Structure 1
Amino acid sequence: MSGVDLVLILRYRKAVTYGHHVLLAALEEHRTTTSYEVVFAESAAATVEAIRASQGAARTLVLWSFYSPDAAALADELTTIREQAPGAVHVAGGVHATAEPVRTLDAGWDIAAVGEGESTLLTLVDQAGDPRGIQGLVYRDATGNLIRTGKAHREPLGTYRAFPLTYKRMNPIEITRGCVYACRFCQTPFMFSARFRHRSVENVRWHVDRMRELGKRDVRFITPTSLSYGADDEEPNLEAVEELLASCKEGIGPGGRVFFGSFPSEIRPEHMSVGALALVKKYCANDNLIVGAQSGSERVLEAAKRGHDVESVRRAVRLGIAAGFRINVDMIFGMPGEDPADAEASLRLATELAGLGARIHSHVFMPLPGTPWRDAAPGDVDPETIKAVSRLAQQGALYGHWEKQRQHAQQLAAAAAESPRPGKSRTLLPMKTVTKPVG
């Protein structure tokens, strides 16, 4: 790595590969006068090794991306990496860094990237790792002053590729960014804005064609709500959905498969219709669909600003099962303000839907930073509810990591309750001088 201006080390973790791929996709099309190398570090030990190997470079940035439940564990990892391999600048991005940039700095990172990271990274590369004057960053200068440059630019979805070809790292294609529903527990609309931005059918097809050329045969999508593709508001646009699915099926070819409304995306219950299900049947290979119910209590759904009622959930499950799909229903227990009657309503709904043949994907409410409910108490699931949920799990009607989520919820609440310690400050690590054009 000797002689390059910049080394970019990706702390590459399975849970956040998509975010790194988007950045690399933007970078591979970007012209810059900065010479750089990219290193994938899939463990803490690999990160240490990569930092040590980069000492001949002018600057080394380690790029991190993580969700709020992982922040504490990764902060501990960062401490270990710093002790074993000093000298790199550690940059945190993603939803947690966007929602809690100052806490992210206090946890040990040098820079927090706020908002969408593509344009921020490109400018950071152009400036050979120097953060000064770049929009979308929060950091402390050499004197400890907090520098905030605002959120990064939001570009039309499709400005950058959904995955990089240079590294042949494929992932589901992000077809929609942002969400108009702005549920009070969800970080997505508060990071990407409460409106939809869609990738065009032509742009999606370009990606599918590249996937086929590289021998990939499965097409999946990233979207907060599948049947909102092509829509500007709450009303689905089935013509746009059909155009998308037909093009993707044609592009991936006879030996390929298209998956829609299944992992890693879902369908809102009020969007489920005979017509929508017919499109999935016609063009897609998935035999299951994910429906976001979240609660069986009308009161809780309204408080969460979900935008649908309980009957919509029942109707969606019945329609999906009648069409031959296995339905997985997301439900969150321990929502803010949930009382025993609300919990009982959710359990009754879960049991009813399981009786129809659905599976319940259970979650425990977590007060995620950046959401309207960030300061709410963590999900408190009473012993009787836990027993009932466990019985459903034993019957094969329920799955999910809800016990681990209870622990994460408690950790998030504890972190939010901590006030920053007076005088606590981490300044940006000294950078080697490099003469490069700023662009």
Structure 2
Amino acid sequence: MSAPELVLVLRYRKAVTYGLHVLLGALEQHATGTRYEVRFGETPEATAAHIRDAAPAAARVLVLWSFYSPDAESLARELAEIRGMADAPNVTHLAGGVHATAEPVQTLDAGWDIAAVGEGETTLLSLVDAVGDPTGIAGLAYRDATGTVIRTGRPQRQPLDDFRGFSLRWDRFNALEITRGCVFSCRFCQTPFMFSARFRHRSVTNVRWHVDQMRARGLRDVRFITPTALSYGSQTEEPNLDAVEELLASCKEGIGPNGRVFFGSFPSEIRPEHVSRQALRLVKKYCANNNIIVGAQSGSDRVLDAAKRGHGVEEVKRAARLGIEEGFRINVDMIFGMPGESEKDVADSLGLARDLADLGARIHAHTFMPLPGTPWRDAPPGDVDPETIREVDRLSQRGALYGHWQKQRDHAARLAAAAEAYPRPGRSRTILPQLPRNETPLAAD
């Protein structure tokens, strides 16, 4: 058998397996004249070993990385470590994902040879056809021989049905992406600004094909990836419960009597204004989960308006009450340290957290991070004052609060420093009118 022309080495980390599985799903359907091989680097040492083994015979070794913005700094150090263990002129390191899309020049300066910008399926297929040569391929940023950054634009967005949501050939499965993009465009979220501020849904027929494949391979749990679960089938801000029921009924039938369907729980969530008795009873009828994640984000209507969340605090309270009355354990996402918070805004958020905890809900706490690619990219990092920390700790000790909010404080500081090093023209760090800690805020614009 001839040696492969192209070897794809995946830096295969648990945090990003879903994205890599989607790329593999696209690749296994693709007819190409390139002889290629795929290898999985599950540690830096294994990745380096694959590079050393492949480089002497292959025309090119393309090392694929994917990561979120909080991991960018640590993975840049890992990249340097791997280059120190294994490198050659025909080895190219390519970074994809939301961070590389939002900050391609920063990504190149951190040591990667190429940044993939936008959705990666068609870009990877084109790279495979070209044996890894980036010239003329849409969706990339790289430097030419003179050091000039070449940007090739974003690839065309394709219907989700065009590509598989996981890989049969490489036996790599994951929660199934049923919606990409989001019409709500919250100012702190990367999703709508990478995938567009509209919904693209995988069809029920296509979802069912995936579920049938899972069942045939002995898999029994169906989970979904979506920015807002009850928006499935909708192109507006209103839920489409008929489409949701069609989806859930098909999945329940497809996975069989010994299988389970999970909806509105990890790794997705439900918007509070979408929670209704009808919706909750659909979940109860077809699904196995007894918990639901509700995205609240703040207990201040002023902050919610500034973040363009599209709902208020009352909708959050109502969603929690309805969910608990219908027998669900409610987990509520909240972000502390949002830009421009006043003392009253903080007090309102803590008050909401206590009220929800008294109802029986749990708070999933986060610290605001100024994520690249979002309108709040240039905001200051989340500032959680000592009294807030004490109150959060008290809720945690009650078992009413959990999350990695403390670690996110450190991530937020690093992201803010990186944003200062790569300023965007015309961007201000003043996001929401900052009020003195003892001043009552006016209504948001």
**TM-score, normalised relative to structure 1:** 0.95
Paired residue for 1:62? 63
Q: Which runs of 5+ in 1 are unaligned?
A: 421-439
Letter in 1 for 2:24: L
In structure 2, the residue matched to 1:399 is: 402
State the match for 2:429 in structure 1. Answer: none
Question: In the aligned structure 2, how far is the partner of 1:279 from the partner of 1:204?
Answer: 18
Residue equivalent to 2:442? none
- 2:160 alignment partner, SS class: coil
Query: Which residue matches 1:328?
Result: 331
> Does residue 1:196 correspond to 2:199, yes or no?
yes
* AA in 2 matched with 1:44: P
- The whole-number CA distance in structure 2 between the counterparts of 1:259 and 1:49 is 39
The answer to whether the Cα contact below 8 Å between 1:2 and 1:57 also exists between their aligned partners in 2 is no
Q: Tell me the CA shift for residue 417 of structure 1.
A: 1.1
* Equivalence for 1:75: 76
Q: 1:362 matched to which residue of 2?
A: 365
Map residues 11-410 of structure 1 onto 2, 5 A cutoff: 11-55=11-55, 56-87=57-88, 88-410=91-413
Distance 1:175 1:419, change over 3 A: closer
* Counterparts of 2:417 and 2:343, CA distance in 1: 24
- Distance in 2 (CA, whole Å) between partners of 1:44 and 1:173 is 28
Q: Output one character per residue of 1:242-280: Cα deviation in whole Å (capped at 9) or x when no partner.
A: 000000000000000000000000000000001000100
TM superposition shift of 1:140: 0.5
Q: Deviation at 1:143?
A: 1.9
> What is the Cα deviation at residue 409 of structure 1?
0.2
Provide the secondary structure at the position in 2 that maps to 1:158. Answer: helix
Q: How far does the alpha carbon of each residue in 1:124-166 deviate from its partner, in whole angstroms, 9 at most, with x for none?
A: 0000000000000000012212100001110011110000100
Answer yes or no: is the 8 Å Cα contact 1:2–1:54 preserved in 2: no
- 2-side partners of 1:399 and 1:2: how far apart? 53
CA distance in 1, matches of 2:342, 2:208: 48
Residue 8 (structure 1) aligns with: 8
Q: 1:48 offset after TM fit, Å?
A: 0.6
Letter in 2 for 1:397: A
Identify unmatched segments of 5+ residues in structure 2: 424-445
Please give the alpha-carbon distance, in whole angstroms, between the structure 1 residues aligned to 2:49 and 2:339.
44
Change beyond 3 A, Cα 1:51–1:2: farther
CA distance in 2, matches of 1:83, 1:17: 25
Q: Is the 8 A contact 1:262 1:288 kept in 2?
A: yes
CA–CA distance in structure 1, aligned partners of residues 124 and 190 of structure 2: 22
Instruction: For residues 37-66 of structure 1, give each alpha carbon's deviation from its aligned partner in whole angstroms, at most 9, with x where no partner exists.
Output: 000101111111010010211100000000
Q: Which amino acid aligns with 1:43?
A: T
By how many angstroms is 1:416 displaced?
A: 1.1
Note the C-alpha offset of 1:419.
4.6
The correspondence of residues 415-434 of structure 1 with structure 2, limited to 5 A, is: 415-419=418-422
Indicate the RMSD between aligned Cα atoms, in angstroms: 0.9
C-alpha distance in structure 2 between counterparts of 1:28 and 1:398, whole Å: 42
Deviation for aligned residue 1:9:
0.3
Cα displacement (A) at 1:339: 1.2
Aligned residue pairs total 420
Asked if the contact 2:270/2:294 (under 8 Å) is kept, the reply is: yes
Aligned 8 A contact 1:187 1:371 in 2 = yes
Cα offset, 1:2, TM superposition: 7.1
User: Which segments of structure 1 move beyond 3 Å, counting only runs of 4 or more?
Assistant: none
Once the two structures are TM-superposed, the CA of residue 340 in structure 1 deviates from its matched residue by 1.2
**Counterpart residue identity of residue 15, structure 1:** A
Kept after mapping to 1: 8 A contact 2:106/2:422: no
CA distance in 1, matches of 2:145, 2:39: 28
Q: What is the Cα deviation at residue 415 of structure 1?
A: 1.1
Paired residues of 1:5 and 1:35 also in contact (CA < 8 A): yes
Amino acid at match of 1:116: E
Higher relative CO (CA 8 A, sep ≥ 6), structure 1 or 2?
A: 1
CA distance in 1: counterparts of 2:146 and 2:84, whole angstroms: 23
- State the distance in 2 between where 1:373 and 1:411 align: 15
- Read off the aligned partner of 1:138 and give its amino acid letter: A
Kept in 2: contact 1:3–1:58 (CA 8 A) = no
Task: Give the SS at the match of 2:351.
Answer: helix
**CA deviation map 1:300-348 (0-9, x unaligned):** 0000000000000000000000000000000000001111110110000
% identical equivalent positions = 73
Q: TM-score, normalised by structure 2?
A: 0.94
Letter in 1 for 2:179: T
Q: Which amino acid aligns with 1:122?
A: L
